[in-house]
Structure 1
Amino acid sequence: MMAKNSKNLFSEENLNVEPIQRAKTIPSRWYFEPDLFEFEQHYLFQNHWQYVCHENQISEVGDSYTTNIARNPVIILRTADHEVKAFFNVCKHRGGPLAVKKGTKTVLQCQYHGWTYLDDGSLRGIPDWNLVELFDKKDFGLEPVEIKVWQGLIFARISKTTPELSSLLSGIEKRISPINLGDLQFHSEHVYDVECNWKVYVDNFLEGYHIPIVHPELANLLDYREYVTETQTWHSLQHSPFKAQESMYSQNGGEAYYYFIFPNMMLNILPGRLQVNTVVPVSPTKCKVIFSYFYDDVEAKQKSGLIDDDIAYSHDIQLEDVEICEAVQCGLQSRAYDQGRFSVKREQGVYHFQSLLKNEFRKAIQKS
């Protein structure tokens, strides 16, 4: 629940969704208020699907991947039947973390006191437990987490009150066809720590308005005049053709597709390459951004140097984004700013995201 002294964060004026031509941006306090940050963890991130990893990152029996969803630790596992399953990464003894037990492929073992679980979540073994009374192993199995796989990407949710994954991703598969993201191979993961609220980073991603000023190199790559933003119920798409000049991207033809899936995931799709960005809230004024890279022919592109060039180019763009986002965070916390306005032509994506936030906050308040 929100603290009483912060209830004015959710005034009717702040939650009202006006047409973009008249709308104001969300209040500056939403970018640094501790009570709102806690509210988001409980009512937003626990109530929406979160991207975890790609199937080929856990391709072999016993492979696992761990993450956190709104501070809830989760482990994804490839079982003996080659299925993908997920559990809260929490031992039912005293809350310790789990990992695949050494010498096995599918037995999970608590890294605190050694309790072991089978890959169906059932409790298998307990050291030094023979004197305990009124205890049934069936009551102490791992808590499952719901997962779904789309185009090779694994999503998890810990609350069934969320929209269905199909509604979040509706239309994307058809739009990017014949590209199949499930055919791409995982290459690497890079993490950036950013001194800004997670929404600052999302706002920045959702508009090309800043490209000519902040990213001059990117402006030379994309045809900014043809840069378009489209919005759907739970996601938005920014896309642009490449300029005619030769580049490591334009040589294969096609377009750049920049998808945002509410509340905090991006799919950057270019010919032969996928970059997944996940924006993870850390504190009211800090976030981390996880970049995961996938390619259609890792070995050949690694030998040619294309992957190194791509990651280096993306890294330079990211450093520019980090610098401006951190500067914006300072501006949002200053006495000089509270709410701004939107460019109807260039900031449809930001308006769409902030409108979804308002609607989700309103629903959460009504339920709380």
Structure 2
Amino acid sequence: MTADLAPQDPATATALPARFYVDTGMANVDRDAIFARGWQLVAHVSQLRGVGDHAVVDLAGLPVIAVRGGDEQVRVLHNVCRHRAGPIAQCDGLAAKSLRCRYHGWTYTLDGQLRSAPEMQGAAGFDVADVRLPQLAVRIWQGLVFAAFDEATAPDFDAFVAGIDARLGADRGLAQYGGHHRVAYEIACNWKVYVDNFLEGYHVPFVHPGLNRLLDYRSYRTELSRWHSLQWSPLESDDGLYGSGDALYYWLWPNTMLNILPGRLQTNRVVPLGVDRCQVVFDTYYAPDDSPEGRARRGADIQFSDGVQHEDIGICEDVQRGMASGSYVPGRLNPLRETGVHHFHELLRAAYRGPAADAATGQAGGAVDVRA
């Protein structure tokens, strides 16, 4: 185990062993060592424009609700009633006046304070003023709402997103988008298999023939930062889809993806459901355009994205079966095309070694040009 978690040089690196993807105990390890100590994407501000607007999200097993309060602040609260663990909300919604548990009707204000509890008058010493929904740390950046279980153990948020603002520039800011569309896929693979797959374009010519025709594989580049990575490629498509420009694929530790193409932002949240299952939630937002051509482009984008995703689902489920087969031993990573995977695995190794190891991997960063 100690050897498996030692830092590796990119030129000689191997992937993580299969047990990190298949051993049943890894689900709890990942929750405690990774998700409880990081920033996770919750929503886009376009979903929370008005007072009482709310979004329900699973943060690696912790149900939460993001809600805009009467003071205009966005809070992320535990979506677990303090009575007997019922859900405060079961779906996204607009303009709620309060938050009422669906189980026994305990009702909370939009900032999480218990306001009423039916028929509790006979409970000695019970006072609604003593009951409040726990609240997560929140940061809103580029119109995206991120939350952390404990800000003290999460990365410094400025370091977490360092450099992205400058790369996007004023014309590609993410807060401008709206027109929310969601689709979620349940996949029979460990969440890390899906992230591994996202972090390299090495498989694109073999798994995604349609996408490969739009991207310039020879110019495909990966750039690494401390807590995120960027894959970039020139993009060429007809005007009925994206037109021409470039494709930016950001990954932010541990499970957030931002797929930025001309005219749209797509976010992916990879939610672990067990050691061999995950859910990937695709939320897509579009630049304002209600013209017939704009609606047609949105429909074409949704259809194209769904096709690419089903290609990824197939290969990720095949990889999970290979991991569980007993045949696999860690293979060498391609130092030209899999630098993003190596970067992710180094962050995983540091997390598994423990918080004291973070400083030792603080040098993980810089930019890697992977043009062929």
TM-score by length of 1: 0.91
Deviates more, 1:320-329 or 1:127-136: 127-136
Structure with greater helix share of residues: 1
C-alpha distance in 2, partners of 1:313/1:17? 38
The answer for the alignment partner of 2:30 in structure 1 is: 40
After superposition, the Cα gap between the structure-2 partners of 1:126 and 1:103, relative to the gap in structure 1 and judged at 3 Å, is farther
Q: Deviations over 1:59-99 (max 9, x none)?
A: 12211111122322111112123221221112222222113
After superposition, the Cα gap between the structure-2 partners of 1:265 and 1:54, relative to the gap in structure 1 and judged at 3 Å, is same
Q: Determine if the alignment matches structure 1 residue 281 to structure 2 residue 272.
A: yes
Name structure 1 gaps, 5 residues minimum: 1-10
CA contact (8 A) 2:58 2:271 kept: no
Letter in 1 for 2:128: K
Q: Deviations over 1:338-367 (max 9, x none)?
A: 211111110000000011100111115989
CA contact (8 A) 2:241 2:297 kept: no
- Report the CA distance between 1:258 and its aligned residue: 0.4
C-alpha distance in 2, partners of 1:302/1:147? 37
Q: Deviations over 1:11-30 (max 9, x none)?
A: 21110111111111100111
CA contact (8 A) 2:191 2:270 kept: yes
C-alpha distance in 1, partners of 2:95/2:304? 41
- Among 130, 133, 140, the alignment partner of 2:124 is 133
The answer for the alignment partner of 1:184 in structure 2 is: 177
C-alpha distance in 2, partners of 1:214/1:366? 36
CA contact (8 A) 2:53 2:95 kept: no
Letter in 2 for 1:41: R
Provide the secondary structure at the position in 2 that maps to 1:16. coil
After superposition, the Cα gap between the structure-2 partners of 1:103 and 1:346, relative to the gap in structure 1 and judged at 3 Å, is closer
C-alpha distance in 1, partners of 2:3/2:94? 59
Letter in 2 for 1:153: L
Name structure 2 gaps, 5 residues minimum: 359-372
C-alpha distance in 2, partners of 1:350/1:115? 46
CA contact (8 A) 2:240 2:296 kept: no
C-alpha distance in 1, partners of 2:11/2:292? 45
Letter in 2 for 1:236: S
The answer for the alignment partner of 1:260 in structure 2 is: 251
- Report the CA distance between 1:104 and its aligned residue: 7.8
The answer for the alignment partner of 1:30 in structure 2 is: 20
- Report the CA distance between 1:187 and its aligned residue: 2.4
- Among 144, 158, 161, the alignment partner of 1:166 is 158
Q: Determine if the alignment matches structure 1 residue 221 to structure 2 residue 211.
A: no
Letter in 2 for 1:363: G
C-alpha distance in 1, partners of 2:130/2:157? 30
C-alpha distance in 2, partners of 1:103/1:316? 31
Q: Deviations over 1:180-218 (max 9, x none)?
A: 110101321000111111111111111111111111111
Provide the secondary structure at the position in 2 that maps to 1:335. coil
Aligned residues: 354
C-alpha distance in 2, partners of 1:274/1:20? 31
Q: What's the C-alpha RMSD, in Å, of the aligned pairs?
A: 2.1
CA contact (8 A) 1:46 1:69 kept: no
The answer for the alignment partner of 2:197 in structure 1 is: 204
C-alpha distance in 2, partners of 1:304/1:170? 34
C-alpha distance in 1, partners of 2:351/2:33? 8
The answer for the alignment partner of 2:113 in structure 1 is: 122
- Report the CA distance between 1:246 and its aligned residue: 3.6
The answer for the alignment partner of 1:334 in structure 2 is: 325
Letter in 2 for 1:228: R
CA contact (8 A) 1:249 1:271 kept: no
After superposition, the Cα gap between the structure-2 partners of 1:346 and 1:366, relative to the gap in structure 1 and judged at 3 Å, is closer
CA contact (8 A) 1:257 1:270 kept: yes
Provide the identity percentage: 41
The answer for the alignment partner of 1:236 in structure 2 is: 229
- Among 59, 64, 67, the alignment partner of 1:69 is 59
C-alpha distance in 1, partners of 2:341/2:95? 48
- Report the CA distance between 1:145 and its aligned residue: 1.7
TM-score by length of 2: 0.90
- Among 352, 362, 365, the alignment partner of 2:343 is 352
CA contact (8 A) 2:138 2:145 kept: yes
